Amino acid sequence: MSMFMNEDNLSMLTDFYELTMANGYLKNGLKDKIAYFDMFFRKVPDNGGFAIMAGVEQLIQYLENLKFDEEDIEYLRSLKIFSPEFLQYLRDFKFSCDVWAIPEGTPIFPNEPVITVRGPIIEAQLIETMVLVTINHQSLIATKANRMVRAAQGRGIMEFGARRAQGYDGAIYGARAAYIGGCIGTSCTIAGQKFDIPVMGTMAHSWIQMFPTEEEAFRAYARTYPDNCVFLVDTYNVLKSGVPNAIKVFKEELVPRGIRPVGIRIDSGDITYLSKRARKMLDEAGFHDCKIVASNSLDEYLIRDIIMQGAQVDLFGVGERLITSRSEPVFGGVYKLAAVEENNKIIPKIKVSENVEKITNPGFKQVWRFYDKESGKAIADLLTTNDEIIDENKPYELFDPHHTWKRKTVRNFYARRLLTKIFDKGTCVYKSPNLKDIQRYCLEQVDTLWDEVKRFENPHRYYVDLSKKLWDIKHELLKKYSY
């Protein structure tokens, strides 16, 4: 079976209650009821200031292949709880919803819709699981990768985590997401093949161990791959054996052929100390252009710290702590009903909770991002009803939806809609950019955020406000359901 979403029918990858509810909707005459659902998240992983949107292309592929075959129908029939009418409905199923998404690579913030779905309730409900698993996973890894890329301060980050990923799809789509977040390449060959991501990697310790001596191992590799010599120098002793042998082989195998070595890799020990000493040895040997690569359970904090300590590292290979987002491995996006249609009129819906952060924002909405015209920096995001228009020629008053006395009037700004239509009545109307363009866009958009928002610890809060019209709708509903 293929592992790629555009070649697989994943329609049955859904939580079982989506199907039981769908059957119930049909039996209760709600099959054609139009509903609006929002996907959003409540908290940025690692207590960061923002997240990165990713996974839209795979969501599109899933929706374009959404169908139920006879094998699916027969399995559901065997459970003996679904009506014949519902099974026939699934047999004839054709996706017909409208879908909006914030483009991949865009910085996103808590409580704003990143996906909005409008359509018949059964269809909109059935896709919940795949919307969440697709966007949650890739957004989590893209966010983690971007943190590491920023920590590296211009030094390249290579994604090396395939063997530690949570399954093969985690490795493949995690590599894609990491590239969106700013990684320069991956060790995952199939991800390179599928997504045109640069693939990277040279040797493991087993290569060194397969030869009688470390020097012979380096010499054999240099003769096999003279234009891509990166030697792993920590199999025995970095400074007493690895680096001296690398220098010797560089001089004897490459220099006479007019070839410059690419680098050395250090995979254990005190990276700061070892890289400083290795850099001095390489420079004294005339290999100032030889790069030093560091790996070994790195994350954004370790990368930041060893750079602050003066480590002479040019590239970082990051594995398990990136591909699993080990420090916080859950993105936590949710999918909630926001409105229904009755007699062609949108009726907002709200979920009320004792936990204020779990109260939803009702209605069919648009997300706007305000930018300062002079600096180009993002000011705040604003949720409005979908029919509201922002007049950039007039001052606009933003206010904190929880502490309404906190207000700010913005002038000399421009605003852009973030939610973009990707499906119209079940037909895809959006062409996904190529991955390199998504990565470029991501880095450009992250640059529009103030440095205070990008801090790893205690980042400045980026405001996501409500328009007065949307705030009024929300509070009327809160009054209505106050018991």
pLDDT values of the chain reduced to their tens digit, one per residue, 483 residues: 344 555 568 999 999 999 999 999 999 999 999 999 999 999 999 999 999 999 999 999 999 999 999 999 999 999 999 999 999 999 999 999 999 999 999 999 999 999 999 999 999 999 999 999 999 999 999 999 999 999 999 999 999 999 999 999 999 999 999 999 999 999 999 999 999 999 999 999 999 999 999 999 999 999 999 999 999 999 999 999 999 999 999 999 999 999 999 999 999 999 999 999 999 999 999 999 999 999 999 999 999 999 999 999 999 999 999 999 999 999 999 999 999 999 999 999 999 998 888 999 999 999 999 999 999 999 999 999 999 999 999 999 999 999 999 999 999 999 999 999 999 999 999 999 999 999 999 999 999 999 999 999 999 999 999 999 999 999 999 999 987
CB distance 338 to 328 below 8 Å: no
- Is domain 5-141+329-360+419-446 given the CATH code 3.20.20.105 in the classification? no
Report the distance separating Cα 324 and Cα 227, nearest Å: 33
pLDDT on residue 482: 82
Phi and psi at residue 418, to the nearest 5° = -95, -40
Nearest residue to 462 (alpha-carbon basis) of 407, 342, 381, 403: 381
- For the chain, the domains span 5-141+329-360+419-446, 201-316
Instruction: Compute the 3-state secondary structure of the chain and give helix, strand, coil in percent, each to the nearest 5.
Output: 40, 20, 40
Contact present, 132 and 335 (Cβ < 8 Å): yes
Q: Can you give the pLDDT at residue 304?
A: 98
Cβ-count burial 290-327 (b if 16+ within 10 Å, e if not): bbbbbbbebbbbbbbebbeeebbbbbbbbbbbbbbbee
CA distances from 146 to 105, 142, 150, 316, 443 (A): 10, 6, 6, 13, 9
DSSP letter string, 352-377 = --SSGGGPPPPSSEEEEEEEETTT--
User: pTM for this one?
Assistant: 0.97
Q: What is the pLDDT of residue 99?
A: 98
Given this model, what pLDDT does residue 141 score?
A: 98
Q: What is the pLDDT of residue 289?
A: 97
- The residues, ordered by sequence, that sit 6+ positions from 178 with a Cβ below 8 Å of its Cβ are 141, 142, 144, 145, 159, 161, 186, 322, 323
Domain spanning 201-316, CATH architecture: Alpha-Beta Barrel (3.20)
The number of beta carbons lying within 10 Å of the beta carbon of residue 428 is 15
Q: Do 415 and 370 form a contact (C-beta atoms < 8 A)?
A: yes
Model pLDDT, residue 483: 75
Q: How many CB atoms lie within 10 A of CB 163?
A: 11
**Residue whose token pair is 């082989």:** 249
- HSE-up of 22 (CA within 13 Å, CB side)? 24
* pLDDT at residue 43 in the model: 97
Q: Assess contact for 120 and 155: CB atoms under 8 A.
A: no
CA–CA separation, 207 and 137 (whole Å): 34
Report pLDDT for 7. 54
> Are 5-141+329-360+419-446 and 201-316 equal in CATH topology?
no
305-to-302, 328, 422, 453, 456 alpha-carbon distances in Å: 5, 20, 42, 20, 12
